[in-house]
Structure 1
Amino acid sequence: MNALAGVIFHFIGGFASGSFYVPFKKVKGWSWESLWIIGGLFSWLLVPFLAAYTTIPNFMDIILATDLSTLFYTYFFGLLWGIGGLTYGLGVRYLGVSLGGSIILGLSMVFGSLMPSIYYYLYPAAGKQDINYFFTTTAGICVLVGLLICLLGVILCGRAGVEKEKGLKSSVLVGDVNVDYNLKAGLVVAIVSGILSACFNFGLEAGKSMATEANELWKATHPNQGEFLFQNNVTYIIILWGGLTTNLIWCIYLNVKNSTFSDYSNKNTPLGRNYLLCALAGTTWYLQFFFYGMGESRLGNGASSWILHMAFIILFSNLWGVLLKEWKGVDKKAYRTIVAGIVVIILSIVVVGFSKTLE
């Protein structure tokens, strides 16, 4: 039951992450940097604080009692992840929700799932899976197979993107086609984003002692009730401060460079609606990690949790891409390829989820 609950929580988190950009697409008359930072204030500052406050009443005591080295590395990985998150927005802008999300999150999935295991091979730690897990255990081999299947799905989605570019006129609006579509620029941004986005998982590992403390405090007052579902909410605070720092600096720079500070008070735009849409996008974005933490509490902070999280995000990003008609105007071959990619990713989710029953 723990494995099934973990998969369901990751499913909800993946839906939230794969869906968060949709409200942004409805914002009218604002520059990208303006909508991005308003959404970010909700996703990286306000909602995480509220979530921690409501689930871990003493979360600030845990943070204040944590050694500076742990806080620094957790925050530092948050800074790097923030760059990945920042370029994620640009990747989606240039490649669309489906293709951009697939490439970025596919890379993040590989680096985020494998790099910690390599680290723990070099520096063993009790309770942590090292790289041998993927080659010497039935469950680990199953996880690795699921990872490879998901990568195949990502490749198919990328292939569909190439076919899409062939079928569209450069920078020409065709119905609902994304006018910012730029494969070359998008790929560069997506690769940077995918690698750095994996730093969120590194931040979770660096700040694990805070989550462990929250877990132990909860278990002391709730004996025999398993692991604390919301233990990671305290760690998120520090990681997301790092992400907020990176994105706030960049977006303010763009506001100055592009003279777009007026967006926030421009009465020629639907201000109330824009703020609400950004708040919705930011809150939805945070929910991915709220439910990721719940899933991790049931599956453990190993490769399978990160792979499932990424796979569900890729799945929903592609489904939204289809529903939002990002593939309108392309030939049937490209459309069949993106559908095939979605099916393969679903298969990978089943394989990784099954692996937990083998442990």
Structure 2
Amino acid sequence: MDTYFLAIILILFASFFQGTFGLGMKYMAPLKWEAWWLLHSFIAMIVVPGIWAFIAIPDLLAVIAQTDNDTLLLAAFFGFLWGIGGILFGVSVEKTGISITYGIVMGLAASMGSVIPLFQIEGALSQPSFPTIMIGVVLLLVGVAITAVAGVQRDRLKAENDSMDKSIKLGVIIAVASGILSAFLNIGFSNAAPVAQVAVAEYGVGTQNASLASWVVVLPGAFAMNGGYAIFRLIQNNSWGSYKNPNSGKAYKWAILAGIFWFAALGVYGQGAALMGNLGPVIGWPILLGLALIISNIWGYRSGEWKNAAKPFRVLLIGLAVLIIAICILGYANY
């Protein structure tokens, strides 16, 4: 199979996981948010990537030990910044609603997470694919904006009052900060490339599997923020007893499944991006998030979120069509 075609297939699979893992958040009860989130983030950011990476790279610890400390610290720091963005996402949702927040965050995370690694490549402006990539990224932003507008129109039809209007400006500012910080997950992965290079050059690991080493050094920083904040909430609210709630088996199951799906998205995406070469994080990341947005809306439609909202749904279809065109352009950019 052609390497680039295989890379695209892998990112398609990753997008399915990315667009699906959020379904688990509908099954938090009877666990408190912080109890569910601590378990979920530990599975997603520590357990699954660690087990997968050790299976694929038996000498993982030696690979990490041989990598420059500055690279490791920077990668973990970028992961920590992404973690802050994730917490701000939740704050913004409380103030503006999921549709506005999701649109802003996805658009900024996809575009900045693509453009910043692009400009870190030496001679980025002279890359033959540079104009095509920029056109694809701009179209992706347009598509995300249209889907956000559709979501806002849908929510207005269902809202009984406009109680969020007073806090919407602050919510938008927080969402912008979340979107910028959320881009650092991919920036961290891109800057952790030296770890994967050591695995390939010194230990004969395949390019696909070597990408897992990059995630292993980025995600502890992400967990430090997510897990730390969850523990803070558990202490603040004295909600440790939530773990003992009866009939919480389904919540535990979905916390684990959502964690597996969350890293499956990143792990498979990383393998696809690695096969694309230097431009993998530049092109693969916006494709991942764009397709994930499409898939999450498909799940939303199936669950009845767009019921009795015919006009907003037509707007959504326009946005999804623009996203598909943008994804095709980005896919072509590195062909």
Tell me if the contact between 1:78 and 1:239 (Cα under 8 Å) persists in the aligned partners: yes
- Whether 2:76 is the aligned partner of 1:75: answer yes
SS of residue in 2 equivalent to 1:25: helix
Partner of 2:226: 247
CA drift of 1:79 comes to: 0.7
AA aligned opposite 1:263: S
| Aligned match of 1:283 | 260
AA at the equivalent of 1:216: A
| Structure 1 residue 46 displacement after superposition | 0.4
> Contact 2:124–2:130 (CA<8 Å) still a contact in 1?
no
| Alpha-carbon contact 1:48-1:237 (below 8 Å) kept | yes
Q: CA deviation at 1:311?
A: 1.5
Amino acid at match of 1:130: A
| Distance in structure 1 (CA, Å) of the matches to 2:278 and 2:230 | 32
Cα drift, residue 273 of structure 1: 1.9
User: What letter matches 1:282 in structure 2?
Assistant: G
* CA displacement at 1:159 relative to structure 2: 1.3
TM-superposed CA distance for 1:251, in Å, is: 1.0
Give the Å deviation of 1:25.
0.6
Question: Larger helix proportion, structure 1 or 2?
Answer: 2
Query: 1:263-302 residue pairs with structure 2 within 5 A?
Result: 263-267=242-246, 270-302=247-279
Structure 1 unaligned runs (5+)?
173-178, 222-226
Residue 152 in structure 1 maps to residue 153 in structure 2? no
User: Is residue 98–residue 319 contact of structure 1 (8 Å, CA) maintained in 2?
Assistant: no
2:151 is equivalent to residue 161 of structure 1: yes
Secondary structure at 2:207's aligned position in 1? coil
Compute the displacement of 1:116 (Å): 2.5
| Counterpart check, 1:25 vs 2:26 | yes
C-alpha change, 1:103 and 1:21, in structure 2 (3 Å) is same
Number of residue pairs aligned between Structure 1 and Structure 2: 329
User: Which has the larger displacement, 14-23 or 30-39?
Assistant: 30-39
Distance 2:8 2:119 in 1: 25
- Cα distance per residue 1:31-58 (max 9 Å; x no partner): 2222122110100110010010110010
**Identity, % of aligned positions:** 27
2:124 aligned partner, one-letter code: D
**Separation of aligned partners in 1, 2:96 and 2:253:** 25
Correspondence 1:351 to 2:310 = no
CA distance in 1, matches of 2:71, 2:32: 37
CA distance in 2, matches of 1:166, 1:274: 30
What is the aligned-residue RMSD (CA, Å)? Answer: 2.4
Cα distance change, pair 105–132 in 1 and its aligned pair in 2 (3 A):
farther
Counterpart residue number, 2:57: 56
Q: Which of 282, 285, 289 lines up with 1:306 in the alignment?
A: 285
Q: Distance in 2 between matches of 1:186 and 1:25?
A: 22
Would you say the 8 A contact 1:99–1:157 is kept in 2? no
Amino acid in the other structure paired with 2:301 = V
User: For the structure 1 residues 9 and 37, does the alpha-carbon distance in structure 2 shift closer, same or farther, using more than 3 Å as the test?
Assistant: same
- CA shift, 1:297, in A, is 2.0
Deviations 1:88-143 (A, max 9, x none): 455567777665443312111111111223344xxx3xxxx62443xxx2x32222
Shift of 1:171: 6.8
TM-score, with structure 1 as normaliser? 0.84
TM-score, normalised relative to structure 2: 0.89
8 Å CA contact 1:104, 1:190 repeated in 2: yes
SS in 2 for 1:28: coil
Deviation at 1:151, TM superposition (A): 1.2
Contact 2:66 2:198 in 1 (8 A): no
Matched ranges for 1:162-311 at <5 A: 162-170=152-160, 187-217=172-202, 220=204, 228-267=207-246, 270-302=247-279, 303-311=282-290
Deviates most, 66-75 or 240-249: 66-75
8 A contact 1:101–1:317 mirrored in 2:
no
* Structure 2: distance between partners of 1:119 and 1:317: 31
Residues 183, 333 of structure 1: alpha-carbon distance in 2 compared, 3 angstrom cutoff: farther
Which deviates the most, 206-215 or 252-261? Answer: 252-261
Partners in 2 of 1:28 and 1:2 — Cα distance? 44
d(CA) in 2 for partners of 1:298, 1:113 = 16
